[in-house]
Amino acid sequence: MTDAQPRGSSQPPVPVELLVKDGCHLCADALTVVDEVCGRLGVAWRSVDVAHHPELAERHAEEIPVLLVDGVQRDFWRIDPSRLERLLTAGRA
């Protein structure tokens, strides 16, 4: 897990991004869920601290944490591990 630039930056995109902020108890729970599910499935992911990205903080002000899968918002507040696993394994052979 690392804080990195969101999509559109010069860094290569990762399949899963979790938007978080400091002092957020829901973010701590979400980080644990995403780390466990992505780690078990071998899927790259990163956390993005919205404090460093004012446009994301404004856009998602009341939804943090926010889960993005392939750039699409899939969840917010509480991340369901079963749903995340389904999203990440759908279409895999």
Q: Is 91 strand, coil or helix?
A: coil
Please determine, for residue 82, whether its predicted confidence score (pLDDT) is greater than 50: yes
With b for 16 or more beta-carbon neighbours within 10 A and e for fewer, the 13-37 pattern comes to ebbbbbbbbeeeeebeebbebbeeb
Give CATH for domain 16-89: 3.40.30.10
**pLDDT of 90:** 86
Q: How far apart, in whole angstroms, are the C-alpha atoms of residue 40 and residue 50?
A: 26
pLDDT digits over 32-63, tens only?
Answer: 999 999 999 999 999 999 999 999 999 998 99
* Global confidence as pTM: 0.82
